Homo-oligomer: A and B are copies of this chain.
Amino acid sequence: MADTVLFEFLHTEMVAELWAHDPDPGPGVSAGSRGEEVGATTGQKMSLSVLEGMGFRVGQALGERLPREMLAFREELDVLKFLCKDLWVAVFQKQMDSLRTNHQGTYVLQDNSFPLLLPMASGLQYLEEAPKFLAFTCGLLRGALCTLGIESVVTASVAALPVCKFQVVIPKS
């Protein structure tokens, strides 16, 4: 029962805690405010970076728990498919809804009902609140990829809640 939502509850508390202790809320924006501007302050950028870093280390650790035979992926695309299926199910109990690529190292992973955004109202109303609920997961993807031997840059964007796109860019080596 509760175990499937434990991660989501803890993630919510973690985001709230990091925002509440925002060390530099900047002029005109009170710490922990629910109405901060889209342009993040220094403190908020640091909080995003902290969340991304935590996600990265959790992703690395999760990656190390993968069965050995799964580590022998043939191609980059196989690894991305693995993240969209196995990793997503392990963390969010659902698969990613779509995966697209330009075959040049850029992948767009789309989740049409991203669980960490679901508690918010749908639509545009709380769009500016979205970034802090995405940073951990960006790190999670980057960390899992890192354990699988792929350096990447992962960003996320939201056009309308709760649809979320993660862009994974893998520099050509």
A interface with B by C-beta (< 8 Å):
1-7, 9-11, 13-14, 17, 50, 54, 57-58, 61-62, 65-67, 86-87, 90-91, 93
Closest 9 CB pairs of A and B: A2-B90, A13-B54, A9-B58, A2-B62, A9-B61, A3-B90, A6-B7, A2-B65, A13-B57
Q: Chain B nearest CB: distance from A115 CB in Å? A: 12
B67 touches A1 (CB 8 A): yes
Q: Report Cα–Cα, A61/B1, bound state, in Å.
A: 12
Copies in the complex: 2
Q: Report Cα–Cα, A50/B13, bound state, in Å.
A: 10
For A58, the closest partner residue in chain B by CB is: B9
Partner of A54 from the list B2, B17, B50 (CB cut-off 8 Å) is B17
Residue contacts A-B, CB under 8 angstroms, 7 given: A3-B4, A3-B93, A5-B61, A5-B62, A6-B90, A7-B7, A13-B58
